[in-house]
Amino acid sequence: MVILGVDPGTLITGYGVIETRGTGIRVIICDAITNDSATAMPERLKLIHDILSSVIDRFHPDELALETAFYGKNAQSALKLGHARGVAMLAAVNHGIPTYEYSPREVKKAIVGTGTASKQQVQYMIKSLLHMKESPKRYDVTDALAVAVCHMHRRLVKRSNGTFKSWKTFLSAHPEKVLSPFRS
Query: Which residue is catalytic, options 7, 19, 31, 63?
Result: 7
> Three-state SS for 13?
strand
Q: What b/e readout covers 81-116, taking b as 16+ CB neighbours within 10 angstroms?
A: bebbbebbbbbbeeeebebbebebebbbbbbbeeee
Query: Which residue is catalytic, options 19, 31, 63, 140?
Result: 140
Phi, psi for residue 43 in degrees, rounded to 5: -70, -40
> Three-state SS for 76?
helix
For β-strands 2-7 and 24-34, DSSP reports them as unpaired
Torsion of CA 150, 152, 153, 156, to 10 degrees: 160
Query: Which residue is catalytic, options 31, 67, 106, 176?
Result: 67
**Is residue 49 within 8 Å of 90, Cβ to Cβ?**
yes
Annotated catalytic residue 7: yes
Active-site positions read 7, 67, 140
